[in-house]
Amino acid sequence: MATQSSARLLLFDSTLLPLAHIWAAGVPGPFAAKITGLWRTWRYFRLSWHDDIISLHDTYGPVVRIAPGEVSVVDADAVKRMYSHGSNTKKTAWYDTWSNGVTVPILFSETDKKIHAALRRRVSSAYSMTNVLKYELYMQECFDLCMKKFRKYADGRTAIDMSEWTHALAFDIVGELCFGKKLGHLEAEVDVGGLRSANTADIYWAGNFGHLWFQTSLYLNPYMDAILKLFRLNNAGMDEFYAWNFGQIMARKEGRGDPQREDMLTHFLRMKPMPGNKELDDMEVFVEAVNVIGAGADTTAIGMRSCLYYVCTHPDVYKRLQQDIDDYHTQNQLDGPTTYTQAQKLPYLRAVVAEATRLLPSIVYQLLREAPEEGITVNDCFIPPGTSIGISPLAQNRDKGIWGKDANEFRPERWIEDPSKTAFYESYNMTFGGNGPRACVGKNLALVEMYKFLSQLLRDFDVEIVNTAKPWNIKTYWFMDQTEFFVRLHTRTVT
């Protein structure tokens, strides 16, 4: 049986199976994609996958070939069979791209199910809603600073780029939750040390090199590092952050800092060693601390932008949501910022967040699995063993078979019309990578921050998009990246 990991055969692409083997399946798709996976990888590199994947399924249907040995599917049954508990599919070798040079297993990229389960068990409580709410006071310090900065720019002619501010907010929150201090992005109003752009670049290269021979070892090696440093092209922002990160871990481990502070780093330092190891490796703590960025920074910033975009481009939604927030404050005589627990009591706010992130989830690339030994049938199409099968959350979250004829429309009411439908939608929602054991571990962090951001911003300010004809630019580098999202803020007087 051919598998992805053994099929690095042709034109530098690593997702190839013997052509007759997969062509026999009769899966439709672009002709070039039958010959080389570079057809798909080129579109990854040009940052257009958010448009490409929607167009592919609109043109070819629910099962589409995007490389000789890879198919993309949009199918409710496949969601359960590929990602739920008890699934007999496994992650493909593409995920190895995230582990190059790392000597300990990584939760996101681990392909062995038993090891992944052990990794997830020992960190899951750090991301539990109970503990996330314990961290909320640290988050609120960041929100307070952010709103203070917003007031500086409100009521003037100065437009602010909300894509930069949400990114800064999310990174500072990560700093508070994991290292006990903000990373300085809000206060300085710049990308401190180029960390945010460096992190984006790392994700872009790792995700796109994943389908090529040798993956990230093509550029993560001493020879390439020397060349990049010579021409000052190395990713210095991430190098400096990694060094600072490790220093914070050592400081906490040695008892420096606030001994009473309970945060995510405290939890990671208390983790049990992996089975078979006598003690916890410092690198294991380091990896989990870095993972918080992936679980709680970019994804959350993307979600904040998506929510604000849809609210501001739908005046009726804007008016109703803001009124609900005001009414709740008045009825409960609140004189401070909305907490997550309070925001949870606003059904329309919950609906808005769910609907906005359904239509524009943070993850756009395919979540790849390997077809099991017996193969798998999707929408009456048999997919042979060893074939890479991927579902893009962006495409799956617009499946008309689940969401109805208006699947591409922003309609928050769908989430509050019928409790049974709400539960049905939740069971198939791919916003956080699904609801199975591989769903994003940082889901609770993202939800708390999105609820707080939207409720506090609309309580304090009126928000106006500057360029209504083109509110923002979207690029995809594994995550969705919305840039140049310029808005004007107007201070509200509320009682």
Binding residues for heme, as ranges, are: 440
The β-bridge partners of 481 are 475
* Separation of alpha carbons 491 and 98, rounded Å: 44
Supply φ then ψ for residue 105, to 5 degrees.
-65, 150
Cα–Cα distances (Å) from 165 to 49, 354, 488, in that order, read 25, 22, 13
Structure tokens at 220: 């993560």
Of 150, 193, 152, 194, the C-alpha closest to 169 is: 150
* Separation of alpha carbons 320 and 476, rounded Å: 32
Structure-token match 């692409």, residue found: 13
Q: Is 192 left (phi over 0), alpha (psi -120 to 50) or beta?
A: beta
> Can you list the alpha helix ranges (DSSP code H) found in 270-346?
282-296, 298-312, 315-331, 340-343
Q: Spell 82-106 as b/e; 16+ CB within 10 A means b.
A: bbeeebebbbbbbbbbbbbeeebbb
**CA terminus-to-terminus distance, the chain:** 69
Dihedral sign from CA coordinates of 302, 102, 38, 234: positive
* Separation of alpha carbons 129 and 300, rounded Å: 15
**Is beta strand 381-383 parallel, antiparallel or unpaired with respect to 376-378?**
antiparallel
* Separation of alpha carbons 282 and 345, rounded Å: 41
Amino acid at 317: V
Of 252, 249, 215, 219, the C-alpha closest to 234 is: 219
Of 170, 161, 48, 162, the C-alpha closest to 474 is: 48
Q: Is residue 28 helix, strand or coil? A: coil
* Separation of alpha carbons 212 and 210, rounded Å: 6
Q: Which residues are annotated as a binding site?
A: 440
The separation between CA 47 and the C-alpha centre of its own chain, rounded to angstroms, equals 16
